[in-house]
Amino acid sequence: MIAFGIWGLIKGNFTPLWTGVPKSLPGREVLAYFCAVIALACGVGLLWRRTATIASRVLLVSFAVWFLFFRAPLIFRAPAATVTWWACGETAVMIATAWVLCAENRGLRIARVLYGLALIPFGIAHFTYLQRTVDMVPRWLPWHLAWAYLTGAALIAAGVAIIINVYARLAAVLTGVELGLFTLLVWIPIILAGANAADWNEFTVSCLLTAAAWVLAESYSVKPAAQ
């Protein structure tokens, strides 16, 4: 979150977490800076226990508002486009994660279902953008096509498992492992080889999604609220 905040302030534009704003919207540039400040401030706030809950609540409200105004309309404009559901899923992951961080054990089931739903379009994208997925498999690994299919199917299966609450914690843990390995094996070499701005954005998103998976996995260790 801190990285996205700094990057947003430097660019004076929206980072991948905050996209979909019409160019005709009045005050668009001010909104971009505002989102960058939120990301930076909340990222810093998450580092300390005293401020973590407040930061999480601000992120929850911010991403929920973003989903309502800039993500949900995409479903009506382009319901068959993979990018629509990917964008919705990305924001839904942020909402679910912020919810877990700030709500403790209240409404965790809803947050987990939202997270599970968000994973499904990530998996589907592996199939609809199959060639891109294959190209991103490290060259030293054999059977590139098989890995593309396997990782996509794994994300879909994990999403379903979390939604129906069957081996849900295991699914969240394995999702964290998969996304973590993706960050390590795919994006780290790209960064070390000399990345462009788009690569840095993708790398940071990958780190963020990995962290989100671990937050969801850890939520299963929270004891149920007293009835």
How many other C-beta atoms can be found within 10 angstroms of the C-beta atom of residue 130? 14
Element (H, E) at 141: none
Query: Mean pLDDT throughout 58-87?
Result: 91
User: pTM for the complete prediction?
Assistant: 0.89
User: Could you tell me the two tokens for 187?
Assistant: 């994006």
Tell me how far the alpha carbon of residue 170 is from its chain's centroid.
19
Compute the distance between CA of residue 36 and CA of residue 30 in angstroms, rounded to an integer: 10
Asked if the model's pLDDT at residue 113 lies above 50, the reply is yes
- 143-174 burial code (b ≥16 CB/10 A, e <16): eeeebbbebbebbbbbbbbbbeeeebbebbbb
pLDDT digits (tens, 9 = 90+) for 186-216: 889 988 888 788 888 889 999 999 999 999 9
pLDDT digits (tens, 9 = 90+) for 125-176: 999 988 888 988 888 888 999 999 999 999 999 999 999 999 999 999 999 9
Asked if 13 and 32 count as a contact pair (C-beta separation under 8 A), the reply is: yes
